[in-house]
Structure 1
């Protein structure tokens, strides 16, 4: 009986690689032929962002032809209903691109015309054709959409100068020339300038590096944050997303960054892999971890990739996978033990 119990339990607690656990988690979020939701426990609602990120990591999905048809239909519906969300449009196009699908010419024309409508004459892109208010975020996604179509990005010099004008004295970038710096907008600005081969035109590269380094959590006594990057200087918790934005930005600015010892950050990222489902999640305090999400897992995966340390996901970790068979076996064994004990006790009394 002991042998049977042991053989039944061992397969569920043996270590698998971190990568295997991550892959299993991602496939649990798949809604076949439609896309991916952001978490296992969430409602079955497709997230364009989670779909693109899951496909980027997995490089595969079930029923790809049907998935492609449904993703293109989602884009077409945006234009049919005149409810175009630039953010979602980008991720839907990204997903189609990852599956090797080319959208039909008429839809491509509609997208190109829309992109021309949200381009502003003094530089930058607005989030929709109902406003002329520009931002680095909408300009970033607009640029990425042109790459995916693929179509030439218009008026590169105009938009480049608009981006450079968003620089602030602290070295960071605001959403436009009138806003304070944020890590996310600095990431958008640097990513765009890198794509435009214009990083050397930064006003003060050294100051931007200082700005980025200011988000690093270097207090070894702060166990939950040590090695990660904060989303802003007043934040209490380092996040996988802010760590990703910072690492990518640093690699753009500093060619020697990847040669530095980034072990603290790597270990911090790996510590965010959940022992419950295999995905990655942020901690809200030292003892409470959020539910794993596809988006957080993507930030973890992509940061490790940027640091050339995806090999760290090949290491084995131990997770107890809850299984109703295990629970049943435990109850049976306990019942047998109690029964044998009662039998022996009664025999001794006799």
Structure 2
């Protein structure tokens, strides 16, 4: 197992900073996800760690050694790409054995390691097949095996499941997580899929426009977004616009205390944190507009008197119909100012039960 430290990593293309002052530390055996939209710089960070891109500035330290000046083949890293990048004229065993042969291992040692890693990725008995005889998921397993068999200190994965169908992605990410944990491999996994990051990672690094927005455990990032971007990018979040004056704001006539300066703000509430009542009482009055049945849950679109639509997650058995009058109370909320900075918000009327 190994540790990785990235310090003030920056990459500039033609005067434009694709990555700006990124600092991350990854511990022994940790799986860290770089998460963000396309073009946010996450793959560029990964490629700089792997050695396929040269940093404009910054350090990349693996087990105390700065490797930023080393070529890819001299770094203790292994990379799994979006494409399988398998040699079609070689068998599965030959694809996996290629790197081992370059290291000068004996034929017996190569055969033993190939058999061992094929067992690890669930492809025992597939050694004589060619890539064209495998499914997409099986080809990606071979790509992972080819990387893992070289025993890298750091495993790098650049959206390896993006070309696969949804069910196969779920199964493979579970398998990869199992392999990573069994081997104790320090791993960085790049993805734009928030569900993938939330289910795979020990910690998530949320990136936007080349910068780090937030680093934390999946639960911490989801429950406590540090910026408006993180709140909107991860999960579903209701964002209701309001104005703050003298630390007081209002939504549909209900007053809130917002610990911030005067100006436009957004009150944020997740659908699962909002309770829906059919009986008049404290809370925000709303009218049901649409109900989406999502299997185990339902998503209700309710329109406030001020016109905003609020999404509310309810149970499968919740009796609700379009046009019905309901009252909404939230168990958690937060506010963001015009710069996207988190601000504390709470109701001025305790009976509303909207806790900041």
Which protein, 1 or 2, shows the higher relative CO under an 8 Å CA cutoff with sep ≥ 6?
1
Which structure's residues are more often helix, by fraction?
1
- Report the TM-score when normalising by structure 2: 0.23
Which structure's residues are more often strand, by fraction?
2
